[in-house]
Amino acid sequence: MSYIDVGKENSTSIHLYYEDHGSGQPVVLIHGYPLSSTSWEKQIPVLLEAGYRVIAYDRRGFGKSSQPTTGYNYDTFAEDLRKLITHLKLKHFTLVGFSMGGGEVARYFGKYGSKDVSRAVIIGGVPPYLLKTDDNPEGVDESVFQGIEKAVAADRYAFFTDFFKNFYNTDVNLGKRVSEQAVQASWNVASIASAIASLDCVPTWYEDFRKDLEKIDVPTLVIHGDADRIVPFASAGQRTARLVKGAELVVIKDGPHNVAWTHADEVNAALTQFLAKGGAMSEKREKDKAVA
């Protein structure tokens, strides 16, 4: 088991758990709420088979990582990611973020730019801006998020039960694309997350990532299910693909929020095809940037 120290809370070190497998160009996988790196189990073997080095880590507060009471904001999440990348001395890497992880991808570019980054992938991501405002009419009303916060604070275990129904669209997919046991496994992972993180992360879902997306200047793939009930396609993926110059958009027909599980074959095909376009071209791009 591998950990990296990303800070301290009083006398206690804050550790991120990560796994580092395979060889080749690195692909960093960033999970969604309220899961952990284990949620990538349908992608990791495929990426390894395709010849990539795969790094998956648990966000602070989730999975096997430390559970501090501070740092649940995207500047800190991006800083944690940066520390992991620096620790592993990664070059020519791809960032792949699901749901909340899409926020890390966007904020990473916003804070640190694209040096050493070859590609970016956002799957069912929260960018560009989920909150409905005067200059963002496509967003979701703030009362929806306030209701979620109240539900998590009152009984997060009950909230997770309802949340995962819409996470997988179980009324349509249960017994077909997702089993009762898989849904239960997701609940089990959520239940061991920090209670503070489970609540404090909710307001981060409507962070404004529009300026961050403008700084993404590498080939980018956006994957989103058109039946996503957690992060609506029209409010998120569709707009992200428009805001990132040259981004490719793959819409998963009838796909719920976690298409990486329910529609793994389609997601994996899109992901590996996109990554295969990198290689020498990505390295050339980095050399050109270094010269400039």
Catalytic residue set: 99, 228, 257
Give burial (CB, 10 Å; 0-12/13-18/19+) of 158.
Answer: exposed
Query: Contact at 8 Å (CB) between 38 and 186?
Result: no
In whole angstroms, give the CA distance from residue 237 to residue 224.
Answer: 6
Measured over the CA atoms of residue 245, residue 101, residue 166 and residue 46, the dihedral's sign is positive
Query: Contact at 8 Å (CB) between 73 and 204?
Result: yes
Identify how many contiguous H helices and E strands the chain contains and give both numbers.
12, 8
Residue 4 has phi, psi (to 5 degrees) of -125, 140
- Strands of the sheet with 2-9, listed across from one edge: 2-9, 12-21, 53-57, 26-30, 93-98, 117-123, 220-225, 248-252
- Return the closest-CA partner of residue 272 out of 121, 152, 117: 121
In whole angstroms, give the CA distance from residue 40 to residue 267.
Answer: 11
What angle (nearest 5°) sits at the alpha carbon of residue 125, between those of residues 123 and 127? Answer: 140
